[in-house]
Structure 1
Amino acid sequence: MKKTGILLLSLFISIFAAAQVDSPTRDTLFEQAPQGLVRFYFDDHYFLVDKDCAFKSIERVSQFVVAKNVFHGEFRDFDRNGKVILTGSYNQGVKEGQFKAYHPNGTLKWEADFSNNTPRGEWKYYYPDGKPMLIVTYDTTGGRISSFWDRIGRQRVTDGEGNYMFKMPFEFYNEYGYPFFERKGKIRNGVPVGYWTTHLVDQRNKKVLFTEEVYDKNGMLTEGYNLFLDAGYKVPLTIIPSQAFFTAERLMSKPCSFDDYSGFNSYLSDKLNSAFAASPSHKNIADEFAYKVALDSEGVPEIITLSKRLQTEDINKYLEMVIKDIPFYFPSLDEQGQPIPDTLTVSGKLSTNEVGAFTFHSIQIEREKQR
């Protein structure tokens, strides 16, 4: 885990140092704009954040229907430098007409048409130099890859037939320590077929085999195996670029902390939910918990203790086992932005439904030495 911790540190220290500031009492997530419009503040994953948060990277100017809590009419999204990165139009919260996204250099990134909230026709993607990258054709049955060009302009998929290899970033924190993954396999009739692989990719383009998959002739996954977890799965990673702007429609907000922005708190929730999926059921529980983690300067936990116990003792025993298996936390930083040892308090809530299914949620992290 030491190597993974070092990889993660190199990726986050600069932005983490700039962003760890005290949050205001009440966040300003949106404000009135001229001509009856509203200005919304998002991070680059399209979660609402305070307008003064260091993670704010997108501003949207749009009409907004308060009664329905939805966007309406034409909108424009701007980056930190005031450049337009996305345009489109809603009709009472429903995507209609042409949407266009732009690279930071101003060139067209992708363009698509929507009808009643659903893509129609060709969704075209472009590289930053303006050259074509990918065309996905949508109809009533869904989307199919019809064309793909690699970075040097060679067409690898034509009329839905060919070989496909595309690298994409992980949107949020993952415990593997790699920022990218690469999908590779054959496309037939616009869908993946046969043997496919996923490699984890670091910033130096070093690759490690991550998953192996087999698809049938209809593009359905029949076998999926994660080599890191030594386990099978049924839901594959995407093979086309994901679009974060859909998240804006849910109007979900995040606190201004790196643990929330990076998805680390969500990762902890998922980790706990996965671990308890096969545990004995306990019905209709609503409880809170907290534990302390003593970290070294590389984010590796040295001591973990359950400081606020749940009311059900057998759940506490299993929870202690699970949290001691979490290998890494983002370390705290000193005033110069350097990682330091610290003690973290991780708190959260647990609920179970009438059939005993567990849900861990509302995870928050407090740091003793960093504010």
Structure 2
Amino acid sequence: MSDWRNIWMRVIWTFLITCLVVETEAQEKLEEQEEKPVYFEQVDSGLTQFYFDEHYFLVDKFCQFKTIERVGKYNLELKSFDGKFIDYNNEGEVVLTGNYANGKKNGVFTSYFANGQINWVTTFKDGEPEGISTYNYPDGLPMMEVLYKDGQVYVQNFWDTRRRQRVTDGNGKYAFAVKAEGYNEYGYEYIRYQGNIKRGKPDGHWDFFLVYEKNESYYAGYEKFKEGKFTAGYDEIKGEPYFKNSKLQVGPSIFFVQAENMMSKKCSIDENQDFSLFLINRLDASFAHYDASSVETGLIEVQAEIDKSGSLKDLEVIKGFPEEDIDALLLKAIKSVEYWIPSYADGEYIDDNFLITSDVMVDTESKQMKFYNLKITRENGT
């Protein structure tokens, strides 16, 4: 009897352990499903509600960076919004209205400030702006009028913050500060552009300035234009000229078009502010001249100690490359980042430890290393 009892006890224990394993796996799958981000949901009358951050990237509906909710129809065949839509902020106030037809923007698009004043109005035809677009200050007074004609953009009228009209009928002096969006390692908040407008186009010499807190500004470079066409520029920060493309931005940044790409971001400050992307580009550039054809690649892990001011205090490779010289280059590249977004907890910035992980591959044609799927995990803050 004792042998049978022992056999049955083993059977029962095996059964219980199997049940426990199955239950644990089921619970893990359930948790994974629960943690899956919700980027959009179906609502009444065939409408869909989309969740965006301030730059119109899809984010989870419960993400702290969600700032916009769009209600409208989406055509899966056209891969486009379809018909009228309304965008709301987190307080339920309307921030944008517009319309899509045959997969393209059509009709009047109107943007609103949170106080209800009109921000800007633009008319689209077959996806392209046409005619006069108007931009206002938050108090509703006019800031700028821009003409879209034959694929060209012309500044018609411009009023500065003191309500003085500086550009009239396409001619005059222009000075405007554009908010710096996302991460920049120099910490400036705005870029100010100033120069002359002639027949609606930039003309002659234009100066650029980086604007910091308390309106402190530093010279950042210049560009030259002839008959409205860019001819040359100089980047004071990098100390080098450029000739291909102008960096000049006339008017405020408009992000709503990004919604059409249906691209998402994870709910982290590093994703939201594009710091992860910046770090990937910095790493790629640092290894651009390294022949990696025989390098063993995989997952790397680096531990960084960042203080509350955004300065790097300590750095250690946890899991690197077999070649020590590559690890040295890796550390050098990360150390070259002058400013890190510090962690935030309990209403203040804090010292924290960052775990940086990234997958690495070798491009078969260029023989260069490429970093991707980079993640930053903060130990104590967000």
User: C-alpha deviations, 1:171-193, integer Å up to 9, x for none?
Assistant: 11111111111110111122212
**1:58 Cα offset (Å):** 0.4
Q: Output aligned runs, 1:240-259, within 5 Å.
A: 240-259=251-270
Aligned to 1:270: 281
Hey, what's the Cα distance between the residues in 2 that align with 1:353 and 1:162? 53
State which of 228, 231, 252 in structure 2 corresponds to 1:218. Answer: 228
User: C-alpha deviations, 1:205-264, integer Å up to 9, x for none?
Assistant: 2211112222222321x2222222223334314222221111111111111111111222
Query: After the TM superposition, which of the residue ranges 34-43 and 113-122 deviates more from structure 2?
Result: 113-122
**1:64 Cα offset (Å):** 0.8
- Is residue 2:68 matched to residue 1:58? yes
**1:296 Cα offset (Å):** 2.3
Aligned to 2:144: 134
- Is residue 2:108 matched to residue 1:98? yes
State which of 36, 45, 67 in structure 1 corresponds to 2:46. Answer: 36
Contact 2:186/2:339 (CA < 8 Å) preserved in 1?
no
Aligned to 2:320: 309
User: C-alpha deviations, 1:80-129, integer Å up to 9, x for none?
Assistant: 11111101111243111111111111111111111111111111111122
Contact 2:82/2:99 (CA < 8 Å) preserved in 1?
yes
State which of 342, 345, 354 in structure 1 corresponds to 2:355. Answer: 345
Contact 1:292/1:305 (CA < 8 Å) preserved in 2?
yes
**1:313 Cα offset (Å):** 6.1
- Is residue 2:72 matched to residue 1:69? no
Aligned to 2:90: 80
Aligned to 2:238: 229
- Is residue 2:374 matched to residue 1:363? yes
Contact 2:293/2:368 (CA < 8 Å) preserved in 1?
yes
**1:133 Cα offset (Å):** 1.1
Hey, what's the Cα distance between the residues in 2 that align with 1:162 and 1:284? 59
Hey, what's the Cα distance between the residues in 2 that align with 1:69 and 1:231? 42
Q: CA RMSD in A?
A: 2.3
Q: Which amino acid is 1:229 matched to?
A: K
Change (3 A) 1:103 1:216: same
Contact 2:50/2:70 (CA < 8 Å) preserved in 1?
yes
SS across alignment from 2:282: helix
Hey, what's the Cα distance between the residues in 2 that align with 1:312 and 1:141? 53
Hey, what's the Cα distance between the residues in 2 that align with 1:71 and 1:284? 47
Contact 1:284/1:354 (CA < 8 Å) preserved in 2?
no
Q: Which amino acid is 1:308 matched to?
A: K
Change (3 A) 1:75 1:30: same
Contact 1:40/1:59 (CA < 8 Å) preserved in 2?
yes
SS across alignment from 1:82: coil
- Is residue 2:344 matched to residue 1:333? yes
Change (3 A) 1:254 1:146: same
Query: After the TM superposition, which of the residue ranges 211-220 and 41-50 deviates more from structure 2?
Result: 211-220
Change (3 A) 1:359 1:249: farther
Contact 1:273/1:358 (CA < 8 Å) preserved in 2?
yes
Q: Which amino acid is 1:115 matched to?
A: K
**1:365 Cα offset (Å):** 0.5
State which of 213, 229, 232 in structure 2 corresponds to 1:203. Answer: 213
Query: After the TM superposition, which of the residue ranges 350-359 and 266-275 deviates more from structure 2?
Result: 350-359
Change (3 A) 1:349 1:103: same
Contact 1:288/1:310 (CA < 8 Å) preserved in 2?
no
Hey, what's the Cα distance between the residues in 2 that align with 1:215 and 1:28? 47
- Is residue 2:142 matched to residue 1:161? no
Which one has more relative contact order, counting CA pairs under 8 Å at least 6 apart? 1
SS across alignment from 1:321: helix
Q: TM-score, normalised to structure 2's length?
A: 0.84
Aligned to 1:15: none
Larger Rg: 2
Change (3 A) 1:303 1:90: same
Change (3 A) 1:363 1:237: farther
**1:156 Cα offset (Å):** 1.1
- Is residue 2:131 matched to residue 1:121? yes
SS across alignment from 1:326: coil
Q: TM-score, normalised to structure 1's length?
A: 0.86
Change (3 A) 1:370 1:69: same
**Identity of matched residues, %:** 36
